[in-house]
Structure 1
Amino acid sequence: MTTTTLDTADKSPREYGALAVTIHWAIFFAVIALFASMNYAHSLDKADPLRRTLYDWHKAVGTIVLGVAVLRILWINIHGAPELVPSPRITEVIARISHGLLYLLLIAVPVTGLGMSLFSGRGVDLLGIPPLAKNEALAGALHAAHEPLFLATVAVVFIHIVGALWHQYFRHDATLGRMVPWLRAK
């Protein structure tokens, strides 16, 4: 009898597959690139053409992150996710809340950024997305929400990383190996 990574009775795989792992790390590195590019763009003079180029790429990559995050959420809803490794109740609660917040923020941050751009009369040129009817009040509200939502994302990612490292180096369980394949037990 062959063992699979999916228990068909409960739709809950024992580990994340290659696609889920790839999406996880693609989003992680894209978010780092988005943060770094905006920090660098803000350090440039407003007349510097590189600043506009960085903004254009930021909008395009952010829009792609939105699409990939939606795909990840759909994938998990269709294929399931592994159950949490048994832990003290408080850490399981923190893990569930932080995962839910991460998914919510991975939608909210790019939606506010995309909306801010589209309602400011600018499209996403690199992806061929035209602007919407200009609405400065809505664009301003989305702009005001974009950075605090991103900072919330950084905080939740920090909690997520601390939790993963805690599982790896203090609990010595299989949690981190789910997203870092070379740490998986053979």
Structure 2
Amino acid sequence: MTTTTFESTGKSPSTYGGFAVALHWLIFFAVIALFASMNYAQGLEKADPLRGTLYNWHKAIGTVVLGLAVLRVLWIRIHGAPDLVPSPRITEVIARISHGLLYLLLIALPATGVGMTLFSGRGIDLLGIPPLLEANKAVAGALHAAHGPLFLATVIVVFIHVIGALWHQYGRHDATLGRMVPWLRVKE
């Protein structure tokens, strides 16, 4: 029997379905693009037109990540996720906490960015979202102040997530990483 089911509805006993895997990797690569675009844009002169273009792409991709993260959480709530691979209790606790934090941060971080833009009286140009809110500098400033620490927290939790996945793959030699990396799935 093979545990490499890759269906997009429901869950299999040991793996995520294709849709959940696709959402995972879309979000992953979008978050990398967000980090890269902002890191590069901040190194440019304020008058450089590329800086504004990168900020616009950053806002659009962040908005998409927000939608994808909400969709991912809803998908898992409806269709479930495979049980954790049996591990020491502390490992399971860390996995559950880090996954919960990761989902929370993948919603909160882009939500603060979208909110910051909208409360600045601007829209998300590349997605055709017009300015929906009246400018409110206090709210925009509070969201801006939260965005940086949320980013740092996201980096830390993603680091823990990646280290945990690699530890499962190369330290424990179990099937955990194969749930999101189909070519690593173990065939029985």
TM-score (normalised: structure 2): 0.92
Look up the match of 2:117. 117
Question: 1:96 and 2:96 equivalent?
Answer: yes
C-alpha displacement at 1:55, in angstroms? 0.5
Look up the match of 2:85. 85
Identical aligned pairs, as a percentage?
82
How many aligned positions are there? 181
Look up the match of 2:145. 144
**Structure 1 residue ranges (4+ consecutive) displaced by more than 4 angstroms after TM superposition:** none
Look up the match of 2:160. 159
C-alpha displacement at 1:14, in angstroms? 2.4
> For residues 89 and 158 of structure 1, what CA distance do their matches in structure 2 show?
21
Look up the match of 1:17. 17
> For residues 4 and 33 of structure 1, what CA distance do their matches in structure 2 show?
29
> For residues 170 and 126 of structure 1, what CA distance do their matches in structure 2 show?
44
Look up the match of 2:57. 57
Instruction: Give a deviation string over 1:148-175, Cα, whole Å, max 9, x none.
Output: 1011000000000010011011111000
> For residues 25 and 13 of structure 1, what CA distance do their matches in structure 2 show?
21
Question: 1:48 and 2:81 equivalent?
Answer: no
8 Å CA contact 1:13–1:80 kept in 2: the answer is no
Please give the residue correspondences for 1:28-43 in structure 2 after superposition, counting only pairs within 5 Å.
28-43=28-43
Look up the match of 1:179. 180
> For residues 47 and 4 of structure 1, what CA distance do their matches in structure 2 show?
51
> For residues 52 and 126 of structure 1, what CA distance do their matches in structure 2 show?
12
C-alpha displacement at 1:12, in angstroms? 6.6
> For residues 13 and 52 of structure 1, what CA distance do their matches in structure 2 show?
47
TM-score (normalised: structure 1): 0.93
